[in-house]
Chains A and B, each alone.
Chain A
């Protein structure tokens, strides 16, 4: 008996999405093992997580709150990934977006009419993140420098810069709570849904996803992106300007992450503070890949992963387990999805030896 791997002619969509479901199951089992190893009852732990995420109205709202940066960062990673450009700099672009929008709120808002403050912050956040990513994109497009490494390095640079700002020149003179800037004026606060912390950023995320999904199939840009992602050689053959696309895509990608930063500053913390960057840029990778780079799927996956994170937070307070378990679960999930990808592209067959195989004639 032998295991034969036969490449499928057409990747199986069923296996593809079925694989995601199966992976989720496997990851949950793995998580159970991790809980056991930490001395906790897996069922109780999952129970706490589930209630923590969906137990009451407020918890559900918190899931939505956490989903906002995940949607935006997921989109931020997915778009360049479609043309095989990897923007791992979500953390830094988010931070820089926070810096930019906080700057507008702290220093420009006295000179602006109130209704203009938020739009200016949005633009500032988007531009800041966009330019931050554009730098790495420029190095890649013009000089071929590996963008994974440059975006990563820029993360550290951005975070140190941000820390310096809120520990130093922009430090809150009244010095309460977390290290950070002064509380931003109210004109700089994103409106929230009543009784919750869900802010307007949710709309940003969903609108962005919808627009992008539509654009991929209904615009010239979308067609070119799909071609470049499928076969860059063919794209060049067809006369497409790949360099220009890389630049724009990186700018857009950074802008979305920057927008996430603005949303966190303006919708959650109301200031630039420590704890702005908690790894959304990295979790965004998981979001993007689990959604297979499909913007609409990103919304759903972001909600799912947010529920894992929120549930994980509950674990810490209720069962004294480190909340990082959420992150562990997500990493595991990603691995399993990668594995299931394999099943979509290859068929596994059992062969009882060559003599038993019947003659088959294929139409050519």
Chain B
């Protein structure tokens, strides 16, 4: 963190805020760090829902990803192995959900909730032995040259590798979704599975593929928490970020760039909360600060839903949550 950068002034709604630039950079930097777990999970769920599958089990997958990532790293001393493990565990859990939702055509809401409960419970159960242990963690890797860019440099380019991964993932996801054939196939499957099927696309295969992918990213999001943000394992350490990610998918209108916006807003609230508590602002009691992310999520849900009714086609993939059976489509 650099001091002596002077002072930043900005005005929000006639309220003038004067802040030490160093502090502002610090807050923004924390914002990015606080948003990354949700960002991974949201991105994953976007892909899953785009294929027409609703996976509410994100919270469970994130927790299991956090636990398995940390445990693997703790015992193997390899962060890489830990990360890969979290991807695998998230993927396997999502595969279970996929099996029930896609092949057995069970109610996707209940399936997802079952997965969440299962993941929460299983992670508590298996995680007992390593609560409080200390293991390796991802540290900041400042990127030379880039980090010297005034203002944005220290915010964006003095972060840990997983965050850099997210920088690569988002534009790739966007390009993939809208400008590639597999992305076109994915979008069709979610929007009109009957049409995709008739065109020879395997609806089932695509749904499985992107459901598993979504689970992998959720697991990665969890691993980010246990290997970087709040290192170590604690029961229920995601504190609902999995559920928030599901709400963020709606806010993002199933678009990767907007997911970034949503995640940053969430991260921003967390950073502010952190800042206020550190500075001991007694204006807003700490329990209300802790509630803010959740109230905020409700607020954006309300805004998004009202806004949707005005916009023409800003909706969920039309086939979301509905099982697909060729002979049902006469």
Interface residues of A (CB under 8 A from B): 7, 34, 86, 88, 139, 143-146, 148-150, 152-157, 160-161, 163-164, 168, 282-283, 285-286, 289, 322, 324-325, 327-328, 330-332, 334-335, 338-339, 341-342, 345
The reply on B198 being an interface residue by CB < 8 A is no
* Residues 82-141 of B at the A interface (beta carbon under 8 Å): 96, 100, 104-107, 109-111, 113-115, 117-118, 120-122, 124-125, 128
- Rounded to whole angstroms, the CA-CA distance of A143 and B309 in the bound complex is 9
Q: Which residues of A contact B118 (CB under 8 A)?
A: 328, 331-332, 334-335
Q: Which of chain B's residues have a CB closer than 8 A to the CB of A148?
A: 56, 109
Closest to B299 in A: A153
CB pair B243–A153 under 8 Å, yes or no, is: yes
> For residue A335, which residues in chain B have a CB less than 8 angstroms away from its CB?
96, 100, 111, 114-115, 118
Q: Is the CB–CB distance between B290 and A342 below 8 Å?
A: no
Q: Are B305 and A156 in contact (CB under 8 A)?
A: no
From the candidates A286, A322, A339, A342, name the one contacting B117 in the complex (CB within 8 A). A286
CA gap between A121 and B111 in the complex, in Å:
36
The 7 closest A-B pairs by CB, nearest first: A331-B118, A327-B121, A164-B287, A324-B125, A342-B104, A153-B294, A334-B114
Does B291 sit within 8 A of A, measured CB to CB?
yes
Q: How far is the CA of A81 from the CA of B287 in the complex (A)?
A: 32
Whether a CB of chain A sits under 8 angstroms from the CB of B285 is: yes
Query: For the complex, what is the distance from the CA of A334 to the CA of B298, rounded to whole Å?
Result: 28
Q: How far is the CB of B58 from chain A (nearest CB, A)?
A: 11
Q: Does B297 belong to the interface (CB within 8 Å)?
A: yes
> Is there an interface contact between B104 and A338, defined as CB atoms closer than 8 Å?
yes
Q: A residues within 8 A CB of B314?
A: none
Chain A residues with CB under 8 Å of B295's CB are: 153, 157
Residues of B within 8 A of A (CB): 56, 96, 100, 104-107, 109-111, 113-115, 117-118, 120-122, 124-125, 128, 239-240, 243-244, 246-247, 250, 285, 287-288, 290-291, 294-295, 297-298, 301-302, 305-306, 309, 325
Q: A145-B302, A335-B115, A338-B106 are in contact. List 12 more A-B contacts (CB 8 A).
A: A146-B250, A146-B305, A148-B109, A149-B246, A153-B240, A153-B243, A156-B294, A325-B125, A331-B122, A334-B114, A338-B114, A339-B100
The answer to whether B291 touches A156 (Cβ under 8 A) is yes
Asked if B246 and A322 sit within 8 Å, CB to CB, the answer is no
Query: What is the chain A residue whose CB lies nearest that of B109?
Result: A86
Q: Given A86-B109, A338-B106, verify A161-B291 contact (CB < 8 Å).
A: yes
A-B contact pairs, 7 of them (CB 8 A): A149-B246, A153-B244, A153-B295, A156-B291, A324-B121, A328-B118, A335-B118
Per the bound structure, the CA–CA distance linking A164 and B291 in Å amounts to: 11
Inter-chain contact A163/B124, CB cutoff 8 Å: no
Q: List, in ascending order, chain B residues with CB within 8 A of A168's CB.
A: 287
- Please measure, in the bound complex, the distance between the C-alpha atom of A148 and the C-alpha atom of B244, giving whole angstroms: 11
Question: Is A331 a contact of B114 with CB atoms below 8 Å?
Answer: yes
Interface of B is mostly: helix
A145 near B305 with CB under 8 A, answer yes
Nearest-Cβ distance from residue A139 to partner chain B, whole angstroms: 6
Contacts of A152 in B (CB 8 A): 240, 243
A285 neighbours in B (Cβ, 8 Å): 110, 113-114, 117
Q: How far is the CA of A88 from the CA of B120 in the complex (A)?
A: 15
Given known contacts A156-B291, A160-B290, A339-B104, A334 and B302 CB-to-CB distance under 8 angstroms: no
In terms of DSSP, what is the predominant structure of the interface of chain A?
Answer: helix
Return B293 CB to nearest CB of chain A, in Å. Answer: 8
Nearest A residue (CB) for B287? A164
Bound-complex Cα distance A328 to B120 (A) = 9
Collect the chain A residues with CB atoms within 8 Å of residue B124's CB. Answer: 322, 324, 327
Given known pairs A143-B306, A163-B287, A338-B111, the reply for A150 and B122 (CB within 8 Å) is no
- A149 pairs with B113, CB closer than 8 A: no
Q: Which residues of B contact A155 (CB under 8 A)?
A: 240
List residues of chain B with CB within 8 A of the CB of A345: 105
A324 / chain B contacts, CB cutoff of 8 Å: 121-122, 124-125
Give the chain A neighbours of B121 by CB distance below 8 A.
324, 327-328, 330-331
Q: Bound state CA distance, A335 and B309, in angstroms?
A: 36
Q: How far is the CA of A86 from the CA of B309 in the complex (A)?
A: 22
A286 to B114, CA, bound (A): 8
B110 near A334 with CB under 8 A, answer yes
Closest A-chain residue to B116, C-beta based? A282
Residues of B within 8 A of A163 (CB): 287
Q: Kindly list chain B residues whose C-beta atoms are within 8 Å of the C-beta of A143.
A: 302, 305-306
CA gap between A285 and B109 in the complex, in Å: 11
Which residues from B are CB-within-8-Å of A146?
A: 247, 250, 301, 305
User: Cα distance A139–B301 when bound, in Å?
Assistant: 10
Q: Which of A289, A331, A334 has the most CB of B within 10 A?
A: A331
Contacts of B287 on A, CB cut-off 8 Å?
A: 160-161, 163-164, 168
A324 to B250 alpha-carbon distance, docked (Å): 32
Shortest CB-to-CB span from B102 to chain A, Å, is 11
Which residues on A sit within 8 Å (CB–CB) of B56?
148
Cβ contacts under 8 Å, B122 to chain A? 324, 328, 331
- In angstroms, Cα B104 to Cα A283, docked, is 23
Chain A residue, CB-CB nearest to B309? A144
Q: What residues on B are CB-neighbors of A331 within 8 Å?
A: 114-115, 117-118, 121-122
Q: A160-B290, A338-B106 are in contact. Are A145 and B301 (CB under 8 A)?
A: yes
In the bound complex, residues from chain A placing their C-beta under 8 Å from that of B305 are 143-146
> Given the complex of chains A and B, what is the CA–CA distance between A93 and B239 in angstroms?
18
A337 to chain B: closest CB distance in Å? 9
Contact B104 A153 (CB under 8 A): no
B117, B128, B246, B290: residue with the most chain A Cβ atoms closer than 10 Å:
B117
